[in-house]
Amino acid sequence: MRGTLRGEPRVVRVAAAQMGPINREHARENVVARLCALLHRAADCGAHLVVFPELALTTFFPRWFVDDISEVDHYYERDVPSPVTAPLFSCARERRVGFCLGYAELTSEGHRYNTQVLVDRDGAIIAKYRKIHIPGHASNEPSRKFQHAERYYFEPSGEGFGVWNAFGGRIGMMICNDRRWPESYREMGLQGVELILCGYNTPVNYLPDPSQDRLAGFHNSLVMQSGAYQNGTFVVGVAKGGCEEGVDSLAESQIIAPSGEILAKTVGNGDEVIVADCDLEWCKNYQNTLFDLDYYRRPEAYVRSQHQRGPRTRADGSPLL
C-alpha cells in the first residue's frame, strides 16, 4: 500500500452543463446556441472543462419507433465538428474551455453509435467514446407509453472503456446506462482514472417496473457515488432533464468526489450550470490506501466476472463454472 502521498494540487475546475428538454422541432442551430450559452456561463465561472449530457444535440429520439430507420438519419451526426456544431468548437477555443459532448453518430460505414467526444481547451478532439451498455429494447413495443428503443437505434461498442491524459490528469468517459454497471468504473479504475465524465438521459418512469420510479434520483446518485468511491475517482453526471416531448426526465446532475461525496448538484431541471474545483490529487487518498487495486484486488478469485454474462447454476443451485 503506497499511502496517500498527495503531491501539489492538480485542480481542474469542472462544470456540469445540464440541459432542459430538446423537442423535435428544436433546430440544431438553436441547440448549439444553448450549448454555447452554457459554455460561456461555465467559462465565466472559470471552468476549464464543461460536461454536456448524452445526445445533447437532439431530442431523445429512441422514445419513438420508426420502421424505416433512415427516417431518423437526421438525428445522427456524420462528422463532428460539422458546420452546425462548429460554433461550439469556436466558442470553446475562444474561451479556452474544453468540453465533453454526447451525440448520435452515424459512421461512413453505416454504423450507429451513442457517442461522446472529449475536446481540449483549444478545440481539438482528444478522444471519442461509444456507449457499451445499451439499455431498453430493439423492436417496437406499441403497448408502452413511450419507447426506449436504444437497442434498435444504437450498436453496442466493442472498443472498451478508455482513459486519456488530459486537463492535467487521467480522464475517462461513459454514457448513461454505463453508470449503472460497476464494471464501467473498474475498467477505468484499472487504467488509473481520476475523473469520469458521463452524460445521461433518464426517464423518471421505468416502465418495466414502476416501483423503481420513486427511487430514480436515489439510484442515480447511488451508482455514481459508489463508482467514484470504489475507484477513488471524481465522477461528473450530467442530465438532459425536464419534460421532453411528454416524458419526464431525471435532472439531478452532480459532481462527485473520490470520497463519494456530492460536491455540487443541480436544483432545477432545465439548462443549469454547476461547478466544482476537482483536485485530482484527492484520488490518491483512496487509490493509494483502501482502494489500492494492485495491492488488494484478487483477480484470481474473480473467475466469473470476466467471461460469464449472466448467472449460471445447476438445477440443485450448485455453482456452474
Residue (18 or 177) nearer to ligand ING, CB: 177
Number of residues that bind ligand ING (CB under 6 A): 10
- The minimum distance between CB 179 and ligand ING, in angstroms, equals 7
Helix intervals (H) in the chain: 28-44, 86-95, 150-153, 182-189, 216-231, 284-287, 293-296
- The minimum distance between CB 212 and ligand ING, in angstroms, equals 7
Taking the C-alpha atoms of residue 36 and residue 31, their distance in angstroms, rounded to an integer, is 9
Binding mask 203-222 for ligand ING (x = CB under 6 A): x--x----------------
Q: Per the structure block, which three cell numbers stand in for 204?
A: 423518471
- The minimum distance between CB 253 and ligand ING, in angstroms, equals 13
- The minimum distance between CB 235 and ligand ING, in angstroms, equals 14
Question: Footprint of ligand ING on residues 147-186 (CB under 6 A)?
Answer: 148, 176-177, 180
The beta-carbon contacts of 288-297 under 8 Å, at least 24 apart in sequence, are: 288/1, 288/2, 288/3, 288/4, 288/5, 289/1, 289/2, 289/3, 289/4, 290/232, 291/189, 291/229, 291/230, 291/231, 291/232, 292/1, 292/2, 293/189, 293/190, 293/231, 295/1, 295/2, 296/1
Residue (135 or 182) nearer to ligand ING, CB: 135
Question: Footprint of ligand ING on residues 4-63 (CB under 6 A)?
Answer: none
Residue (123 or 227) nearer to ligand ING, CB: 227
- The minimum distance between CB 243 and ligand ING, in angstroms, equals 15
Q: Is 54 a catalytic residue?
A: yes
Question: Footprint of ligand ING on residues 221-280 (CB under 6 A)?
Answer: none
**Residue of 77, 100, 105, 131 marked catalytic:** 131
Residue (148 or 170) nearer to ligand ING, CB: 148
Q: Is 176 a catalytic residue?
A: yes
The beta-carbon contacts of 244-248 under 8 Å, at least 24 apart in sequence, are: 244/20, 244/21, 244/22, 244/23, 244/59, 244/60, 245/21, 245/23, 245/24, 245/59, 245/60, 245/63, 246/146, 247/60, 247/63, 247/146, 247/203, 247/205, 248/203, 248/204, 248/205
Binding mask 83-122 for ligand ING (x = CB under 6 A): ----------------------------------------
Residues 6+ apart with CB under 8 A from 312: 320
**Residue of 36, 54, 272, 283 marked catalytic:** 54
Residues 6+ apart with CB under 8 A from 223: 179, 180
Q: Which segment (98-106, 151-159, 195-203, 287-295) binds ligand ING by CB under 6 A? A: 195-203
State yes or no: residue 201 binds ligand ING (CB under 6 A): yes
Q: What is the binding site for ligand ING (CB under 6 A)?
A: 135, 148, 176-177, 180, 200-203, 206
Which residues have a catalytic role annotated?
54, 131, 176
